[in-house]
Amino acid sequence: MAIEIEKSFDVPQTVDEVWGFLTDPERIVECLPGATLIEAVDERTYRGEIGLKLGPIGTRFLGEIRFDELDARRHHMKMTGEGRDRRGSGN
């Protein structure tokens, strides 16, 4: 199942500062409660883990994200990601 997320909003920083932040997984992971960056597979692929909880039910997912497109001149990126429940019972 593919999900496309598109959102825009203003921030009080320069475009280059925001671009640098959004393309740095070590900084982004700090904004995701329960997330941990495990390793950089290569310069565009990263593995991590995130915990999710819905009411009394919680689980942790191991996953991978990849920057498929990075165009700093146009400030455009495209990412794909996938993950799996640590216990192997869902994705």
- DSSP letter at 80 equals E
* Residue 78 covered by a domain: yes
Q: According to the model, what pLDDT value does residue 42 have? A: 97
Query: Which residue type, as a one-letter code, is found at position 46?
Result: Y
- The whole-angstrom separation of Cα 57 and Cα 55 is 6
Residue 8 lies in a domain: no
Asked if residue 35 lies in contact with residue 29, where contact means CB atoms within 8 angstroms, the answer is yes
Q: Which residue range forms the structural domain that includes residue 22?
A: 15-85
Q: How many structural domains does the chain have?
A: 1
pLDDT at 4: 77
pLDDT for 36 equals 96
The model's pTM: 0.77
Q: 77 in a domain, yes or no?
A: yes
